[in-house]
Structure 1
Amino acid sequence: MKRYLGIDIGGTSIKWCVLDDDFAIADRGSVPTDFESPTDLIAALATIGRPYQDDIAGVGVSAPGGFYENDLDGIVHRGGALAYMDGFPLGRALREQLGVPVCVSNDGKCCALGEYKRGALRATRVGAVLTVGTGIGGGIVIGGHVVRGAHGFAGEFSFMSNNTEDCVAVEHVFGFTGGWLALRAAILEEKGIAGSAGVDGRKLFEWIDAGDEAARRGLERYARMFDSNLLNLQAVLDPEVFAIGGGISANPALVEALNQQLPTVLAHYTGFIRDIPHPVIRRAELGNDANLYGAVQELRDILHE
């Protein structure tokens, strides 16, 4: 049975694991992402990979930024959280260091493929993952293949505009109105709190879980906005399942609220638009491992396994 190295490059840490054809993890670890140049990053990735390079069929890498289909050099476009990577051939550089095949893919798309293989999108023909962080990342899987688009941009849900009457502005895009900061803003407004110092996602759900009525109202407002965007995506993609991931999705109250508020949002649909299929909303299942599974599956697809 072959083994593979999966690497997930995030804004704060690099997570990695060694897994086999059945996605059983044999080893794992992480290091901080405190680099300032592609050279430093590649040196760290090579250090992770060298102990395994004679025992693996290749390396699958999940990274921020855009990547074109069938680009074996893994050139980073729009470096995202790691702006210094923009234009760097990440795949080629790591392949030269380790001497094994390397496949590099966008982190949101890896998450979607991972959830398709082992998580909430299992057995779907059309599915989508939305990861809630500072913005809204994610990916679309159709027939077991990730949709990339002409520019590697498909699934970048953050850039959807919520207001088509005015010119596109940051305060009107889904990444701004649907990220976790929007949930915090809604809850703080309901509670009458002016400042946000010390209020993180964990604190928000402590209030919610404790039965704080103002916090619950803020969550419900946020859920109705989020559901309205899901209905837009349902009309375009018509997925069988939306899987919701990201840090705040770890608390089941988020997906519960999305499902509870959906009838309220749908009630405003009248006439012919009543025919829109009702979104099926589930919590993503794999957490931080989704990107690792998806990156390795992308590699296996390239290797025709």
Structure 2
Amino acid sequence: MDFLVLDVGGSFIKYAIMNEKAEFMEKGKTPTPMDTIEHFIDVVGTIFDKYKDRIAGMAMSMPGRIDSDRGYLYTGGNLEYNTDKEIVSILQKRCPLPITVENDGKCAALAEAWLGSLKDCDDGIVVILGTGVGGGIIKDKKLHKGKHFIAGELSFIFTNNAAFESKYSHMWGMQAGLSGLCVPVAKAKNLPIEEVDGYRVFQYANSGDEEVLNILDDYCYRLVLQLYNLQYIYDPEKIAIGGGISKGEILIKYIRKNIEKYYNNLEPNLGVKPEVVTCEFYNDSNLIGALYNYLTKYKL
């Protein structure tokens, strides 16, 4: 049995034909429409037409605050045209088959809980370091969504560190997202921010650039403070770190270094160290989690 699985991002809609074992038979991507929901439905419909004779259903990962049981988007994230939309019902008029939808960060958590680094855990948290901070919470091996479907929306955690000149500077998403690394590195190297991305930051770091390593150390210290908060609020077995920048071993090395640093400052017998691991899936995590959400809903 094959399924069409879509990961709707801010730049591209990634799609794949997958089976119930999360094996990929085919992959592709197309630019995400940024103008209207009609254009969005047309693009998704065109992908559907290509595969409609070989699929049993469609599973989708999307940005926004989502009631996945109802198939309703309270917000569309950066795709504002999807706000307050019965997205599953709308899509089914164009693609008449079973469709599921879930938030992208929550899909990443589902992927790790199903087949990834949290598969041996009852309780865990996934933290995705990207433009902001996405994620999801796993409770008793199931996704915890919360009353208002915002459990795991880690970007909106408030901090008292207004490190950057922005109305969002007091939110964790601004400080622990890519800007939390790229902005100070750009300033330190006297470069336009447009020329500094995660890849360049870690080029500096991996080459032993002391200035950038100090920035990375400070970034990880501030990140670790919030990981301790998550540990004490929820007490997960593991916290899995994902996102493109988590691929580099040096990031996890510095996170673990700062976990030890903070732990050594706690009162004896009061400290519990977060166990931090890397996510197993990167670009495929949202696709795998979206598929699992579909299989769970339809008990396949």
> Would you say same fold, with TM above 0.5?
yes
Q: Distance in 1 between matches of 2:230 and 2:288?
A: 25
Does structure 2 retain, via aligned residues, the 8 Å contact 1:188–1:215? no
- Post-superposition offset of 1:289: 0.7
Q: TM-score when scaled to structure 2?
A: 0.93
- Determine the structure 1 residue equivalent to 2:183: 185
Does structure 2 retain, via aligned residues, the 8 Å contact 1:113–1:144? no
Q: Distance in 2 between matches of 1:292 and 1:77?
A: 21
The reply to whether residue 279 of structure 1 matches residue 274 of structure 2 is: yes
The reply to whether residue 51 of structure 1 matches residue 46 of structure 2 is: no
The reply to whether residue 137 of structure 1 matches residue 126 of structure 2 is: no
- Determine the structure 1 residue equivalent to 2:15: 16
- Determine the structure 2 residue equivalent to 1:304: 299
* TM alignment of 1:211-222, pairs within 5 A: 211-222=208-219
- Determine the structure 1 residue equivalent to 2:99: 102
Q: Distance in 2 between matches of 1:227 and 1:118?
A: 26
- Post-superposition offset of 1:250: 2.3
1:96-125 residue CA offsets vs partner (Å, 9 max, x unmatched)? 222210001100000100111122212111
- Determine the structure 1 residue equivalent to 2:153: 156
- Post-superposition offset of 1:188: 4.4
- Post-superposition offset of 1:11: 0.1
The reply to whether residue 176 of structure 1 matches residue 171 of structure 2 is: no
1:193 is paired with a residue of what secondary structure?
A: coil
Greater Cα shift, 249-258 or 12-21: 249-258
Does structure 1 retain, via aligned residues, the 8 Å contact 2:180–2:219? yes
Amino acid paired to 2:34: F
- Post-superposition offset of 1:144: 2.5
Q: Distance in 2 between matches of 1:56 and 1:95?
A: 14
- Post-superposition offset of 1:55: 2.3
1:16-58 residue CA offsets vs partner (Å, 9 max, x unmatched)? 1111121111111000113311111111111111232232221
Amino acid paired to 1:50: D
Q: TM-score when scaled to structure 1?
A: 0.92
Does structure 2 retain, via aligned residues, the 8 Å contact 1:53–1:100? no
Does structure 1 retain, via aligned residues, the 8 Å contact 2:263–2:271? no
Q: 1:292 aligns with which of 247, 271, 287?
A: 287
The reply to whether residue 269 of structure 1 matches residue 260 of structure 2 is: no
Does structure 2 retain, via aligned residues, the 8 Å contact 1:136–1:179? yes
Amino acid paired to 1:111: A
Q: Distance in 2 between matches of 1:277 and 1:59?
A: 42
Does structure 1 retain, via aligned residues, the 8 Å contact 2:205–2:212? yes
Q: Distance in 1 between matches of 2:183 and 2:216?
A: 10
Point out where structure 2 has 5 or more consecutive residues left out of the alignment. 162-166
Q: Distance in 2 between matches of 1:232 and 1:9?
A: 30
User: How many pairs does the alignment contain?
Assistant: 295
1:113-144 residue CA offsets vs partner (Å, 9 max, x unmatched)? 01111222121111111111121111111222
- Determine the structure 1 residue equivalent to 2:86: 89
- Determine the structure 2 residue equivalent to 1:30: 29
1:230-285 residue CA offsets vs partner (Å, 9 max, x unmatched)? 000001111111111112222222112101221112222226xx534211111112
The reply to whether residue 6 of structure 1 matches residue 1 of structure 2 is: no
1:183-240 residue CA offsets vs partner (Å, 9 max, x unmatched)? 1234345x36374341111110110011101111110000010000000000111111
The reply to whether residue 201 of structure 1 matches residue 205 of structure 2 is: no
- Determine the structure 1 residue equivalent to 2:67: 68
Q: Distance in 1 between matches of 2:274 and 2:51?
A: 43
Does structure 1 retain, via aligned residues, the 8 Å contact 2:68–2:100? no
* TM alignment of 1:225-264, pairs within 5 A: 225-264=222-261
Amino acid paired to 1:298: N
- Post-superposition offset of 1:69: 4.6
Does structure 2 retain, via aligned residues, the 8 Å contact 1:53–1:99? no
Query: Over aligned residues, Cα RMSD in angstroms?
Result: 1.7
Q: Distance in 2 between matches of 1:3 and 1:286?
A: 21
Amino acid paired to 1:304: K
Amino acid paired to 2:116: G
- Post-superposition offset of 1:287: 0.8
